[in-house]
Amino acid sequence: MCAAGMSPLAHIFRGTFVHSTWTCPMEVLRDHLLGVSDSGQIVFLEEASQQEKLAKEWHFKPCDVRELSRHEFFMPGLVDTHIHAPQYYFAGSHMDLQLLEWLTKYTFPTELKFKSNDFAEEVYTRVVRRTLKNGTTTACYFATIYTDSSLLLAEITDKFGQRAFVGKVSMDMNDTFPEYKETTEESIKETERFVSEMLQKNYPRVKPIVTPRFALSCSEKLMSELGKIAKTHDLHIQSHISENLDEVKAVENLYPNYKNYADVYDKNNLLTNKTVMAHGCYLSAEELDVFKERGVSISFCPNSNISLVSGLLNVVEVLKHDVTVGLGTDVAGGYSSSVLNAIRTAMMTSNTLLINKINAKGLTHEEVFRLATLGGSQALGLDKDIGNFEVGKEFDALLINPKASDSPIDLFCGDLVGDVSETIIQKFLYLGDDRNIEEVYVGGKLVVPFSSSV
């Protein structure tokens, strides 16, 4: 037996590690050693042949090393760059309308219920548990207009150990469902209270994000003031843009003095290098150039775009403009809270654009894997901290077992020759689910399976 507490490391793993770099969309590192410090940082990732040298440097014994089975592998945690936590209440239902009617009939009445903290606590606890089980180590959440229950979402997220941005929604216009809106002054004041209380809490991995719902529900004064709040506190910003053609037309009619949809946000100080905008299906080349210039990222939400019949984001074209892209589930416009589903529907979207001869070349599964991990971390400005297994980054990771009990993946003899094959990785990305995600780590801490304290 190893003497307790001799090594300064929290974890030492030996096995296969699959991640992305900016030069390689999917790198498979077989028979490697990865060490994680007590503070949750990756301190080495080297070939297993270097074990003796590393053991001397980091003072560990062979029995400190946890060896993965030959079919298991680690991958970076999944990053969901756009998810509406309150809408998890009706995820998987109400898919019969397009965006603007869907908001009025289903979304606003549901979000109204979150005035009750008791109601909010149940839904928010379930969405955090579910997304963590699905491998989402980082989530960028929309909450509702209610400050107290939005603060509760942040508290729950912190308790479960998920890395997150949490936004109290701001909206002072809502003619179609007037019960669910704030006055301009109230929205500004409550956003300031939300930000102030979040910053006082000083959660290690849960941060506030300024959240104007979208241009149709925010006055120019509100947008401008939210931009100032974000600048004052150096905060991230999230919203929606160019999701649906009716929405784009409505913004054009509401704000005729602006050049385009992006200009509405830009002139009101909401497009910064800390802004992530969901959708962007109908952004013009001119708008994409503004995104590049300002450093704005796009959250690609393929399930929602198709489920609400909104549009198809041409990611290949967006990337040509050097705009950063991450993946989002957009629950509940997207019916699945799994980023694995977003990977699959992103591939289907890319293939649809190929079928219709809009693109000559599509995305590969390796490229979409990068969007779901390193791309998402970059979209949220976290790529110096997470996104892959580079030394110095925090260990946000999923232990994948394709042969888990009741696994939805069938493996055959040819799949199991030698260490983890490309086929096994592909099968997990296309067929796997939470049953294959045996362990989830955030900042080096094991958060799934859940501890008894949560």
pLDDT, mean over the chain: 97
Q: Which pLDDT belongs to residue 330?
A: 98
Evaluate if residue 3 carries a pLDDT over 80.
no
Closest CA to 420 of 5, 9, 19: 19
Evaluate if residue 4 carries a pLDDT over 70.
no
| H helix runs in 278-356, sequence order | 285-294, 302-307, 315-320, 339-355
For 41, which DSSP code? B
CB 168 within 8 A of CB 190: yes
**Which tens digit of pLDDT belongs to each residue from 125-177?**
999 999 999 999 999 999 999 999 999 999 999 999 999 999 999 999 999 99
Q: Which pLDDT belongs to residue 417?
A: 74
Give the phi and the psi of residue 436 in degrees, each rounded to 5. -90, -10
Angstrom distance (rounded) from CA 176 to CA 31: 58
Count helices and strands in the chain by DSSP H and E runs: 16, 17
Q: Which pLDDT belongs to residue 281?
A: 98
Angstrom distance (rounded) from CA 86 to CA 263: 29
List, as one string, the DSSP characters of 153-173. HHHHHHHHT-EEEEE-EE---
Contacts (Cβ under 8 Å, ≥6 apart) of 68: 13, 14, 15, 16, 74, 399
* Mean pLDDT computed over 392-405: 97
Q: Which pLDDT belongs to residue 5?
A: 53
Angstrom distance (rounded) from CA 261 to CA 241: 7
* β pairing state of 275-279 and 236-241: parallel
Angstrom distance (rounded) from CA 393 to CA 385: 5
* Tokens 């209270």, residue located: 193
pLDDT range class, residue 428, cuts 50, 70, 90:
very high
List, as one string, the DSSP characters of 252-283. HHH-TTSSSHHHHHHHTT--STTEEEEE-TT-
* Mean pLDDT computed over 221-247: 98
Q: Which pLDDT belongs to residue 419?
A: 76
Burial 3-26 (b: 16+ CB within 10 A, else e): eeeebebbbbbbbbbbbbeeeebb
> What is the identity of the amino acid at 5?
G
Q: Which pLDDT belongs to residue 174?
A: 98
Percent of the chain with pLDDT over 90: 95
Angstrom distance (rounded) from CA 281 to CA 344: 18
Q: Which pLDDT belongs to residue 8?
A: 87
pLDDT range class, residue 2, cuts 50, 70, 90:
low
Q: Which pLDDT belongs to residue 6?
A: 67
Q: Which pLDDT belongs to residue 454?
A: 81
Query: CA 74 from chain center: how many Å?
Result: 18
Contacts (Cβ under 8 Å, ≥6 apart) of 120: 86, 114, 144, 146, 149, 152, 153
